[in-house]
């Protein structure tokens, strides 16, 4: 299953770490969003897209990137790291998933976990979830990636 993983990770590199672990597990090609246009989506069976969550949604450049894609019927999964983790996954992933579905993507999974968050006043106390993602999160990401291998 040829997989491409695209990420945007601007705050502490939290989502980049998760993207790297998933790519390792899947033997996937991995790219930052800015270089994603250099990849030929046609050769991939599965595309993963993720970023940190900024104001309850994925990074705006990732959302814009989807807007500019042609329609394609391809399997895709969505991932993120955030200050709130699982608590807000439905709200946080909604916009990106809506856009992918509108472009014809078939969504096969979601993954999220906590990430170090030192936005705004949180900086003063060193931030929330300082040690996340941690080894347990990486293992969850590997398990998630493995579960995608059994998807048709
Ligand atoms: C500008 C900004 C806005 C954020 N908004 C949210 C938010 O709405 N909900 C949340 O749970 N975390 C929020 N966070 C925390 C990030 O989602 C979290 O730190 C994430 O792991 C960052 O990923 P990154 O290091 O890959 O950029 C925000 C962080 C920043 C910098």
Reported as a pLDDT band with limits 50, 70 and 90, residue 79 is very high
- Cα-based distances in Å from 106 to 31, 49, 101, 137: 21, 13, 7, 25
3 state SS of 58: strand
Quick: pLDDT tens for 18-51.
999 999 999 999 999 999 999 999 999 999 999 9
- Cα-based distances in Å from 12 to 53, 83, 90, 143: 12, 12, 23, 23
Q: Once rounded to an integer, what is the mean pLDDT over residues 49-71?
A: 97
Query: According to CATH, what is the number of the domain 3-149?
Result: 3.40.50.360
Q: Does the CB atom of residue 75 touch ligand 1 within 6 A?
A: no
Q: Once rounded to an integer, what is the mean pLDDT over residues 105-110?
A: 97
Q: Does the CB atom of residue 130 touch ligand 1 within 6 A?
A: no
Ligand 1 atom with the smallest distance to the CA of 7 is 26
Ligand 1 atom with the smallest distance to the CA of 117 is 19
Q: Once rounded to an integer, what is the mean pLDDT over residues 128-145?
A: 97
Greatest C-alpha distance within the chain = 47
Ligand 1 atom with the smallest distance to the CA of 55 is 8
pLDDT of residue 73: 92
3 state SS of 29: strand
Q: Whole-prediction pTM value?
A: 0.97
Ligand 1 geometric centre to CA of 113 (Å): 11
Which phi-psi region, left, alpha or beta, contains residue 72 (left: φ > 0; alpha: ψ -120 to 50)?
A: beta
State the first-to-last Cα distance of the chain, in angstroms, to the nearest integer. Answer: 9
Q: Is the pLDDT of residue 62 over 80?
A: yes
Reported as a pLDDT band with limits 50, 70 and 90, residue 91 is very high
pLDDT of residue 151: 58
Q: Once rounded to an integer, what is the mean pLDDT over residues 68-95?
A: 95
Average per-residue pLDDT for the chain? 95
- Closest C-alpha to ligand 1, atom 6: 54
């Amino acid at each position: 299953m040829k997989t491409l993983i695209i990420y945007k990770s601007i705050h502490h590199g939290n989502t980049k770490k998760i993207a790297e672990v998933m790519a390792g597990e899947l033997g996937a090609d991995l790219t930052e969003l800015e270089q994603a246009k250099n990849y030929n989506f046609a050769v991939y069976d599965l595309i993963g897209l993720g970023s940190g969550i900024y104001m309850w949604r994925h990074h705006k450049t990732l959302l814009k990137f989807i807007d500019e894609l042609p329609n394609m019927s391809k399997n895709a999964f969505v991932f993120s790291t955030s200050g709130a983790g699982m608590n807000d996954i439905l709200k946080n992933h909604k916009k990106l998933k809506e856009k992918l579905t509108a472009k014809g993507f078939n969504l096969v999974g979601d993954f999220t976990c906590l990430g170090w968050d030192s936005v705004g006043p949180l900086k003063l106390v060193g931030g929330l979830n300082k040690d996340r993602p941690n080894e347990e999160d990486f293992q969850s990401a590997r398990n998630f990636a493995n579960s995608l291998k059994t998807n048709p």
